[in-house]
Structure 1
């Protein structure tokens, strides 16, 4: 069995990756971060978002719209 089939799962995402995951534009995703609706952290000059923070955002939006 070859190790070349290993799939790496990112520990955190860039803003652009989160925008793509959520189906949002980059501007909207940056606004969610700026308003605190989507948690993020600054890593040097880059903004990073943990996968669980994306899940939290999605869960919160579902609760707001279902409940």
Structure 2
């Protein structure tokens, strides 16, 4: 068993201190992080990954990649990754809606 260093009693902080102890539990740290996130400005992504688009549309990743490869969903190559602008996802949805309406 490892020996833990203990602060001498004369150096202990008073019980009225507002600072949290340095040995917080993981759960407490996560709660603090959530509070910090809630106080920040929400950043809207400028583009999405293929995986994110698949989740948004409720498609599998392979189907989404197929739609991108066929040109049904526009995308750009960023390094070795594909990126899809939000309005390109909207264009795909609108095109599908128009096709469905024309079939009726």
Q: Does TM, normalized by the shorter one, top 0.5? A: yes
Q: How many residues align?
A: 66
Gaps of 5+ in 2: 1-35
Among 61, 73, 81, the alignment partner of 1:38 is 73
Q: Does 1:16 align with 2:51?
A: yes
- Counterpart secondary structure, 1:5: coil
2:60 is aligned to 25
Q: Distance in 2 between matches of 1:56 and 1:16?
A: 18
CA-atom RMSD, angstroms?
Answer: 1.5
Gaps of 5+ in 1: none
TM-score (normalizing by structure 1): 0.92
Q: Distance in 1 between matches of 2:39 and 2:86?
A: 24
Q: Distance in 1 between matches of 2:91 and 2:39?
A: 33
After superposition, the C-alpha distances for 1:8-60 in whole angstroms (9 at most, x for unaligned) are: 10000000000000000000000000000000000001100000000000000
- Counterpart secondary structure, 1:48: strand
